[in-house]
């Protein structure tokens, strides 16, 4: 009887260890994959010609997104987008950037960590030509340009058809083919 209890206890610990590793491994892959998507967007979306004094392609992000920032910075180091150096500009999560600040971001990523302010950022990005990418549930349907979602253990993208049809940037047919096209929810 004691032997069965011991075997059950060992199996319980092994199951928890392996389950924990698998869950942790999935979480560790999520942000490198999302960072790769952000980099791919620079290749499959054509932005209008930048202002003459704008030498960088800027990806904005809040400074408290420590899951994404290191992966994004590592990935884009020394990379270019349409002959412009890609840089990551961090904004304080304690204050929402204004339209003038966001206007210089070609792309802005907002994580689920900043869900409480994402609608305000959406409203500001609505006045700019910034591609707004997020990861909360139904992000694209709620007003973001592109939303990440997980289906069948894969990270996928949804494009807000209303926004991409009316934006001055143009989405390539290749990106359209691999994306879920959604309409923005009516308020």
- pLDDT, tens digit (0-9, with 9 covering 90-100), for 7-43: 333 333 333 333 333 333 445 789 999 999 999 999 9
Query: For residue 62, what pLDDT is reported?
Result: 96
Residue 77 pLDDT > 60: yes
| CA–CA distance, 24 with 171 (Å, rounded to integer) | 34
Query: For residue 20, what pLDDT is reported?
Result: 36
Length of the chain: 187
On average, the pLDDT of the chain sits at 83
Q: Which residues contact residue 157 at a Cβ distance below 8 angstroms, ignoring those fewer than 6 apart?
A: 37, 146, 147, 148, 149, 175, 178, 179, 180
Q: Which residues contact residue 44 at a Cβ distance below 8 angstroms, ignoring those fewer than 6 apart?
A: 171, 172, 174, 175
Q: Which of 6-20, 95-109, 150-164 has the lowest mean pLDDT?
A: 6-20
Choose which CATH entry (3.20.20.140, 1.10.260.40, 3.40.50.2300, 3.40.50.300) describes domain 2-182: 3.40.50.2300
pLDDT above 70 as % of the chain: 83
Going by the DSSP 8-state scheme, the letter that residue 138 receives in this structure is T
What mean pLDDT do residues 121-149 have? 93
Query: For residue 27, what pLDDT is reported?
Result: 54
pTM of the complete model: 0.82
Residue spans per domain, the chain: 2-182
Query: For residue 53, what pLDDT is reported?
Result: 59
């Amino acid at each position: 009887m004691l032997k069965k209890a011991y075997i059950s206890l060992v199996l319980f610990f092994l199951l928890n260890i392996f389950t924990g590793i698998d869950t942790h491994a999935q979480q560790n892959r999520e942000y490198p994959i999302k960072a790769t998507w952000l980099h791919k967007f620079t290749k499959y979306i054509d932005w209008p010609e930048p202002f003459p004094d704008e030498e960088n392609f800027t990806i904005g992000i809040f400074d408290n997104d420590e899951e994404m920032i290191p992966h994004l910075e590592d990935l884009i180091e020394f990379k270019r987008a349409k002959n412009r150096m890609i840089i990551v500009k961090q904004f304080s999560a304690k204050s929402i950037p204004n339209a003038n600040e966001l206007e210089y971001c070609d792309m802005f990523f907002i994580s689920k960590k900043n869900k409480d302010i994402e609608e305000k950022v959406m409203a500001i990005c609505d006045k700019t030509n910034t591609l707004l990418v997020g990861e909360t549930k139904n992000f694209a349907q709620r007003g973001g340009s592109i939303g990440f979602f997980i289906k069948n253990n894969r990270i996928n993208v949804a494009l807000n058809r209303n926004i991409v049809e009316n934006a001055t940037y143009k989405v390539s047919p290749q990106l359209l083919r691999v994306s879920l096209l959604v309409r923005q929810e009516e308020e």
